[in-house]
Every structure is written in C-alpha cells, then in structure tokens.
Amino acid sequence: MTAGGADARLRARDLGLAPGIFRPGALNAITDVAGLRVGHVTLIEGEGTRTGVTAILPHPGNPFADRVPAGLSVMNGFGKLAGATQLAELGEIETPIVLTNTLAVGRAVEALVDWTLARNPEAVSVNAVVGETNDGRLNDIRARGVTREHVLAALDGAAGGPVAEGSVGAGTGTVAFGFKGGIGTASRLLPPPLGGWTLGALVQANYGGALTMDGIPVGRELSRWYLKEHTDRGDADGSVMVVIATDAPLSDRNLSRLAARAMAGLARTGAAFSDGSGDYAIAFATHPGVRRTAERRAHQAIIADWPNDRMSPLFVAAAEAVEEAVLNAMTMATTITGRDGRTGRRAKVEALDLAALRAVLARHGR
C-alpha cells in the first residue's frame, strides 16, 4: 500500500475551490449539524484488503427510540441500499446509517441489528440502513474482509468534530473519475433571514464522468475522462452514496425533495450517472421538533414543519455541500495500491496530483 502523493493532501478550499454562495460551518463537515457523529474503520491488510466502514449517527440519543424523519432519492438504481423501501414507505430511519463495500452489506446489516437490539430489548423488527459502493478495483472484495466487529467498532467509535476524509473508512478502496476517490464532507450555514439552519453532507465517492471542480473542467485538462477518444475506459461506472443532514424541522416529504438536490451537486462535479452506477442520497432532519419519539408514534402529535415556500435556500445549500464534499474526497484521497477483486492482479490508483491541479486552477485564474 502506498500512502500516496509527495504533496500534503489539502481540502478544496485550501486550494482555492469554494463552490456556491453560502458559507460553510466551522468544520465544513456534516458534523456541523449539532449532535451528529461519524465513525470510520479503515482496513488495509496484506496485499489485497483495501476497504472499510463509515457510520453516521444522527443524534446522541437512541435512534431506534427517537427516530428521525428521512427522505430518499435515487438517480440510477444499480446498488444494494439495505432498508431503502421501508425508509421510503415510512419516511424515517431508526438506526445509524452504515456505509461499506458491496459484498459487506449483509454483515453490516447483521452488526447494525445486533447493535440496535442490544440497546432496545423490546425490539422485534429493525430496519437497518446500509449503503455501499463497489471498491473491487483496489480491494479483493471477494475475500470479504469486513467483519461484524469492524462495523461495531465504527459505530462505537463515532464522534463529533472534524471528519477524516479521503482514503478512509468506506472510501478506502474507492475510485472516482479515474483517480483515487474516498470519503468527503462539507456543510453550509443559512443566514438568519433564511432560517439560520445548518446543513451538512457526506459522500462515498466511487463514480465517474468528466471531473469538474467548481466549474473548471479538471478531468479534460488532465486528459482523463469518461468516453475519451470514444472509448469507455471504465471511468464512469461505480456508485456514490450521499448522506445529507440538517437541523431544520423538515417533513419526510421535504427531505425527499432535499435528497433529490444532491443529484444537482453530483452533476456539477461531472457525474455521468452511468448504467452501472448506483446514485443514492438519503436526507434526514435532527430538529427535536420532528423526531419521532415513542410518545409521538403512539399518539397524535403536532410536528414542526418548515414550509414549502421556504425550502429553496436549503435546496441550494444541499447542492453546494454535496459538490464540495466530492471535491474534498478527491483532494484528500491518497494513492492506494491493492489487488483488483475481479482479476486478482496488483492494482494501483493514483490520487489527484495537487501540483497539476494547482496549474489547472492557475490557468483559470484561481
């Protein structure tokens, strides 16, 4: 395994990339949403295992008892998002969200069920939400290196504060736009006249197209993009998982609308949304006034609901945060050498060269 890159890795804003109009939160991370926690387990073992787990806990309490409203959006559905149909049907999530690789979904579901049952002795049904992307270009995915213990460690180690990005957790073996992909995060703050809400996004970037960074055609300028010379180089297929969190008091219906705006953020990065890509976004709200507590689920209750005609600023914030989260995943990722899970051969994917990126940005006046 190669740590990757002679240059120290930097976030997008440190390189002069600052997409959008709203300012980020203090951490420019999904954890700017108060109480939200993120945990990673990164697996780099032997010559072939290059994978991991990322867990997102919506609030400090018991997510099964105090459920959060949620919405789902799917652009291209080539994926294995466990729990998706019940999430869409009921408009809520009752477990943390776990991200991992495609063939680890089953084990992650089992671990998440165990974690939930241990905290809820009355539970007899658990809708575990587990998303995935296929990291088989760098990870010996058939070896199934992710275990129950790894998932539990990510859950139990979740914390607030800065979020590790790049080739970590569920982003350890991912590839995006032909470069090393990974985990990225960003946030946006709405000004008080627009509600003063915080919105954060986290992405597991493993998809492709023609990389665009804050409107600059980086992929084309670095001569690496999908359909270059009319040939599919394999830089389009893949998947992306997006998780959006906000402290605004949103209904599940408006959270589904919010999740759909993640696709605008992905489109700005040059996503191809190809036939073999799974493009999923989950959005949830942590506001105490919309949490579905046991008492509220048992009785008719008045639930706070941000009005439709004030949603547009949140839509803008979601697209911006998702776009910047992808940029952070790309600029923070490190070069990884592993083993292709399909061929068994040694494989290496280079991280985006920041020196070359700086040159491209300079040509565009950044």
* Catalytic positions: 239, 277, 279
Q: Are 341 and 139 in contact (CB under 8 A)?
A: yes
Q: Are 220 and 187 in contact (CB under 8 A)?
A: no
Phi and psi for 346 in degrees, rounded to 5? -60, 140
Q: Which 3 state secondary structure label does DSSP give 337?
A: strand
- SS3 per-residue string spanning 127-193: CCEEEEECCCCCCCHHHCCCCHHHHHHHHHCCECCCCCCECCHHHCCCEECCEECEEEEEEEECCHH
Q: What is the DSSP string of 25-62?
A: -SSSSGGGSTT-EEEEEEEEETTTEEEEEEEEESSSS-
**Rounded (10°) angle between helices 148-156 and 105-119:** 50
Q: Are 29 and 185 in contact (CB under 8 A)?
A: yes
Question: What number of other Cβ atoms are within 10 A of residue 7's Cβ?
Answer: 12
**Integer Cα distance of 252 and 259 in angstroms:** 10
Question: CB neighbours of 133 closer than 8 A, spacing ≥ 6?
Answer: 79, 99, 101, 102, 170, 174, 204, 206, 207, 238, 239, 240, 241, 278
